[in-house]
Every structure is written in C-alpha cells, then in structure tokens.
Amino acid sequence: MKKNFLTAAAITVIAFFVATTIAQAADVNFSGQVRTRWESNGQSGGGAFNDASDNDDFIATRVRLNANVNVNDSTSAFIQMQSNRTWGNNNGTAGTLANNAGSGNSSFSPSDADASVGLHQAYFTLKNFATLPVDLQMGRQEVVLDGHRLFGNTGWTTGAQTHDAIRLTHAHDNMALVYAYVLGNEGDRTNDPGDLNDTDVHLVYGSLQGILGGTLSVTFAGVVDGCGVTATATCSLQANDIYTIGFRQAGQLFGIDYRGEYYHQWGDARADATRNAANLNHTALATQASIDRDAYMFGLRIGKKFNNVMMKPSLTFWYDQLSGTDDSDVNGNEWGGFNTLFDTGHKFYGHMDLFLDGGSGGGGTQGLGLVDMAIKGSIQPMAGWTVKAAFHWFETEVDPNSNATARGPQIAAGVDEDLGTELDLALVHKYNANTVISAGYSVFNGEQLFNLQRQTTEDADWAYVSFDVKF
C-alpha cells in the first residue's frame, strides 16, 4: 500500500509540473471581474410604472474569469466564464429570474445544484489566416462597432450580449475592413430540417482614420430572418428581413468633439407589423403580400471638454431621430420603424431604458419612432471623482394627432408627440487602479402620449450603486 501511495504521489507531482510547463509554453494570462450593483426600480416587470407603491429593490452580481492564451505567434484563444446572480431566493410562485427574482440560492437553501456559471465568450484567433493579410476570429464573441450604435455588448446589463460568429479582419495603417457572419438563431433538426427558422446576420464594416480630424466608418448589416422568429415560433408569412446601410463620422475639429451618422433600412417587415397588429391595421396582413421596410435614423452630437479649466467641465448637445410608421406607411403596406439591431441602447436613450426598441414597436413607442434631444455635462470636482448629468426630451417621430391609424386605438385625437423628460445623474469614483464605485439617480416624467401608451398615470424614478472590481 505504501508503494501504491508513493506511485500516486509521483504521478501527481509529474502531472503538476507537466501542466505548469504547458501553461508556460502557451503563455496563459488570467483576469476577471466582480461587479455588484444595487438597484431601486420604479417600474414593474411589465414596464408600467408603479409609483403608487414602493420601488423594487434588488442586488445583482456579475462574476467573470478570463483566460487569454497565446498559443504561438499565429494562434491565440480567449475564454470567458460568467456567472450572473440576483441575491436571495424567490419564495413566490409567479416571480422569475428574468424580472429580478432571486437566483435560487438564498441563505435558506444549499448550493449543491448551483448551475449559474456559463460561457460568455470562447473563441480562437488565427493571424494571417491561410497566408492572407486577414485575421480569423471564430467562436462565441462580442461584436462592438462605432460606439455601440448598431452592434454593442449591452455591457450595462448583468448578462451582456455575445454572438456565435466568424469574423475576418484586415487592418493596415489607418484603415480596417471587417466581415462577420453571425448565426443568430438555429432551428432544431426535427421541426426545422430546412433551416427555415434560422436567422443569419452578415456584417460588412470599413473604417478610415484621419478624416476631418477623426474616423469615417461605413456599415452594411443584413439580418436574414425569413420566418420572423423574433416575433413568432411558426413560419407563416412572418418575414423580418432587415438590411441596413449607413455611415458614421466622428472626431474633433477646432477643439470641438463631434459625431454625425445616418443609416437606412429596407427589407420585409411582416413580423414587425404583426407584432404591432393591435395598433396598426396593415391591409397586407391577411394576404400573402409582403410589407416593405423603409426606415432611417440619424444622430448628431457636438461637445466640448475644457481640460484647462478648474474641474474640467464638459458640455454636449445631442440629437437622435429614429423613423416611425405613419398612416401613409400603413395604407401603402410599408413599415417605417427603424430597428436598432444589436445596439447598447442604455448608452443613448436614457439610463432608465424606456425606449430601447425605438421605432421597432413593442414597449418603446408602439411603432411611432423616437426623437431624443439631450443636454449632457460633467465635472471633475477632485482627482478620481466625476459628476455627470443628462437631461432628455423625448417625443415620437410620427405625430399621433395627424395619423389616426398609426397612433393606435389607445390614443385619441388631440394628443401630441411629446413622450416626457428624463433626468439622469451619476457619480463615478475611481477608488483605486482596479476598483470603480459609481452611483446614479434618474427620474422620468411622462406626458399624455406616454401615459396612454403605457396605461399609467404615474412617473417613476430609478437609482443604483455599483462596485466594479477588475483584476
């Protein structure tokens, strides 16, 4: 028995040193994140305001462990494990994790069956793939372009957004070209043998630096969704193809920071129209005719940061416009709502996330589009501290008063396009090189159109405190 013990110990030692040698040869670097955030939310799970009662308070934590592996000069890999938890346990029968119920492992339950850890990213990179000046990146990965306008990682949310994708990148001097294929949805082999319910995304992107003091980028994205699986599980006249093309120019001229962008969309929008059938009466819904998509969005931003002034103040003026569906669209079997694709809307349309789907319909503006006018500012009262403020004026792009069909049955004549205003305040403190502590408060005051669309008469507020530790 002593001999067996010594043999097992020897094998263990050898395995340890072999594993260490392999890790050293592969150049493995570990990093990670623990982010815990308390929130007080004045909205109920369905999006309606519940200001008449107390806010819903909850605490959520994101834990990430990253392994960055440099295998050799041409091959690398990145693996990111992630666990998302809402503190406590759901003791009721109606609550779910999706609407901020507890994750199921409270102080009163064991963690034996804890399966909260998942794979957030896992991809490999081959440099100069097939001896071409192109890098291949394949696997589960984040796709972030141009400040998160159309493709972002929604990093504010606890889970964040990744894609199963193949990405080819060519970079040379001041230019870059990207092609990416994303398999957005894969139907099962039994019920979808012909891949009719699959959703494919094709992305072509190019950027050129040094233009007007900044970078010019051009994007084409095609979301091929012939069955509209985003709206219904059946494949019956539910196409939701979205083709988007546009450009973005951002930089600095004469000390002024600026951004301008424009995107146009076309395709078949039967799924979007069907999803909003309660508000819109498209004549093509009862036939096999398609509903053409014809939408646009543009955004402008002008700002200035005064680095040579006490507290380094900054001031930014902001305007975004997303098209909506009006009566002429309905009568002509068209859909005019702009789809923001995979954007990080939290960065653009107010911190309370009331209008994330813009003109696409749903809980945003019910297909009437969105206009967001904002003034944003910041100061740094002392080293490591930043105070931010933003004030948004929201309205629909389509005037409901003059579009009796598009405005939907809940909206009477005489209601104008004003949705409401939102004030966002934030305090950010860099506690040390690895830790950021932040807090924020927001309040939204709804106008008549918003109250009728959401079936509420209340305003709402929202607050958070976040600790973000990276290592």
Helix (H, G, I), strand (E, B) or coil at 458: coil
Q: What pLDDT, in 10s, does the model give residues 279-309?
A: 676 766 666 577 899 999 999 999 999 999 9
pLDDT at residue 53 is higher than 60: yes
- The owner of tokens 């539910």 is 238
pLDDT at 25: 53
CA distances from 377 to 22, 314, 389, 390 (A): 51, 5, 5, 6
Q: What pLDDT, in 10s, does the model give residues 323-361?
A: 999 999 988 889 999 999 999 999 999 999 999 876 665
- CA 305 – CA 257 distance, rounded (Å): 8
pLDDT at residue 7 is higher than 80: no
Q: What pLDDT, in 10s, does the model give residues 117-146?
A: 899 999 999 999 999 999 999 999 999 999
- The owner of tokens 């072999």 is 18
The predicted model scores a pTM of: 0.87
CA distances from 169 to 127, 161, 203 (A): 9, 20, 12
pLDDT at residue 40 is higher than 60: yes
Find out whether 400 and 417 touch, Cβ atoms under 8 Å.
Answer: yes
CA distances from 149 to 166, 174, 261, 382, 398 (A): 20, 22, 10, 31, 22
- CA 126 – CA 108 distance, rounded (Å): 48
pLDDT at 183: 94
**Domain locations along the chain:** 2-470
- CA 291 – CA 281 distance, rounded (Å): 12
- CA 113 – CA 344 distance, rounded (Å): 33
- CA 112 – CA 293 distance, rounded (Å): 50
**153 Cβ contact list (under 8 Å, min separation 6):** 142, 143, 144, 160, 161, 162, 344
CA triple 389-391-393, angle to 5 deg: 165
Q: What pLDDT, in 10s, does the model give residues 111-124?
A: 666 667 899 999 99
pLDDT at residue 236 is higher than 60: no
pLDDT at residue 103 is higher than 80: no
**464 Cβ contact list (under 8 Å, min separation 6):** 37, 38, 39, 40, 438, 439, 440
Whether domain 2-470 has CATH 3.10.580.10: the reply is: no
